[in-house]
Amino acid sequence: MRIDQRKNNQLREIKIEASPMEFSNGSVILSTGKTKVLCSASIEEGVPKFLSGSNQGWLTAEYSMLPGSTHPRTNRNNNKKGRSQEIQRLIGRSLRASIDFTKLGENTVVIDCDVLQADGGTRTASITGGYVALHMAVLNSLNENLLKENPLVNKIAATSIGLIGNEILLDLCYKEDSEAGADFNLVMADNGNIIEIQGAAEKQNFDIDTVNKVLEIGSLGIKEIFEIQNKIISEL
């Protein structure tokens, strides 16, 4: 039995609060279990130099953990270290798969993900919440005539999966993640395509059959997450 009495293939409860920030183009607080992430999307004029004159846009992401999000306290300087850099690159890669940049014009979308409370799965929560914030930002920008076309082509969501002994668990909390022999992060588009798979044998090697089972369980979990995203988006 899992710590919180869930089944192995069961997600934690997901809640999405829309528009907690007045001045952002789009923002949400996504909660999955005890993990809470504030995600905002801002659309700014201009692109990186390598895209100047291309009439194409760009998306980038920033990720940080607020000092009070963990116990003991997280030092603010930790957000400049390798883990945060790696996570924000993952968020950026994942959400770039949702956009046709030729329809964005020479504008840059900045996704900011700030972890308010960390209990596992902060990077996957950031991707899932970041997409909803992005969707909101695009709709608001279209309504305000800041964008001429809708550049969104896919919805994006993500979840974690882990191995503890012979058990495959979906959507790990922190304690489960710390005990897992191997853990995975799965990012998918709503057309069923995989955007990214991250997997590492921390203490326990795994075979191809296990990977296939991980993908099956993860993809079914992400399908449920898309349903939650769609409900929020339909209410915007």
**Which helix (H) or strand (E) element contains residue 162?**
strand 156-164
Backbone angles phi, psi at 31, to 5 degrees: -115, 130
Is residue 6 domain-resident?
no
Predicted local distance difference test score (pLDDT) of residue 222: 98
For 173-226, write each residue's pLDDT tens digit: 999 999 999 999 999 999 999 999 999 998 999 999 999 999 999 999 999 999
Predicted local distance difference test score (pLDDT) of residue 80: 65
For 19-45, write each residue's pLDDT tens digit: 999 999 999 999 999 999 999 999 999
Is residue 113 domain-resident?
yes
What CATH number does the domain containing 139 carry?
A: 3.30.230.70
Strand order in the sheet with 167-170: 167-170, 156-164, 182-189, 194-201
Beta-bridged to residue 62, according to DSSP, are 112
**Which helix (H) or strand (E) element contains residue 131?**
helix 122-143
DSSP letter string over 168-220? EEES--HHHHHH-SEEEEEEEETTS-EEEEEEEESS----HHHHHHHHHHHHH
DSSP letter string over 4-58? TS--TT-PPPEEEEE---SSSSEEEEEEETTEEEEEEEEEEE---GGGTTSS--E
Predicted local distance difference test score (pLDDT) of residue 75: 85
Backbone angles phi, psi at 195, to 5 degrees: -90, -45
For 63-74, write each residue's pLDDT tens digit: 999 988 988 898
Closest CA to 10 of 191, 172, 187: 172
Is residue 78 domain-resident?
yes
Q: Distance (Å, rounded) from C-alpha 51 to C-alpha 166?
A: 48
Q: What is the mean pLDDT of residues 6-19?
A: 98
Pairs from 196-200 (Cβ < 8 Å, separation ≥ 24):
196/90, 196/93, 196/94, 198/90
For 174-188, write each residue's pLDDT tens digit: 999 999 999 999 999
Is residue 1 domain-resident?
no
For 86-145, write each residue's pLDDT tens digit: 999 999 999 999 999 999 999 999 999 999 999 999 999 999 999 999 999 999 999 999
Structural domain boundaries, residue 167: 14-234
Number of domains within the chain: 1
Predicted local distance difference test score (pLDDT) of residue 78: 67
Cβ–Cβ < 8 Å for 119, 34: yes
Q: What is the mean pLDDT of the chain?
A: 96
Is residue 122 domain-resident?
yes
pTM score above 0.75 = yes
